[in-house]
Amino acid sequence: FPRQPDRVAIVTGGTDGIGYSTAKHLARLGMHVIIAGNNDSKAKQVVSKIKEETLNDKVEFLFCDLASMMSIREFVRKFKMKKIPLHVLVNNAGVMMVPQRKTRDGFEEHFGLNYLGHFLLTNLLLDTLRESGSPGHSARVVTVSSATHYVAELNMDDLQSSACYSAHAAYAQSKLALVLFTYHLQRLLAAEGSHVTANVVDPGVVHTDLYQHVFWGTRLVMKLFSWLLFKTPDEGAWTSIYAAVTPELEGVGGRYLYNEKETTSLHVTYNQKLQQQLWSKSCDMTGVLDVTL
Note the pLDDT tens digit of each residue in 106-141: 999 999 999 999 999 999 999 999 999 999 999 999
CATH of the domain at 15: 3.40.50.720
C-beta neighbour count of 199 within 10 angstroms: 25
Number of domains in the chain: 1
Instruction: Assess if residue 291 is contained within a domain.
Output: no
32, β-bridge pairs:
8
CB 204 within 8 A of CB 236: yes
- The answer to the question of residue 219 being in a domain is no
Chain-centre distance for alpha carbon 205: 16
Q: Is the pLDDT of residue 216 over 50?
A: no
Would the pLDDT of 208 be above 70? no
pLDDT reported for residue 261: 95
Rounded to an integer, the average pLDDT of 180-185 is 98
pLDDT at 213: 43
- pLDDT at 217 > cutoff 60: no
User: Once rounded to an integer, what is the mean pLDDT over residues 25-51?
Assistant: 96
Considering the domain boundaries, does residue 105 fall inside one?
A: yes
Asked if residues 122 and 89 have their Cβ atoms less than 8 Å apart, the reply is yes
In a domain, 124, yes or no: yes
Residue 225 lies in a domain: no
DSSP result, 125-156: HHHHHHHH-BTTB-EEEEEE--GGGGG----T
> Residue 292 — pLDDT band, cuts 50, 70, 90?
confident
Model confidence at 49: pLDDT above 80 = yes
Residue 211 within a domain:
no
Question: Is residue 150 predicted with pLDDT exceeding 80?
Answer: yes
Range of the domain at 190: 8-205+233-286
Q: Determine the pLDDT at residue 222.
A: 45
Q: Is residue 228 part of a domain?
A: no
63 found inside a domain:
yes
pLDDT at 85 over 80: yes
The residues annotated with a catalytic role in the active site are 171
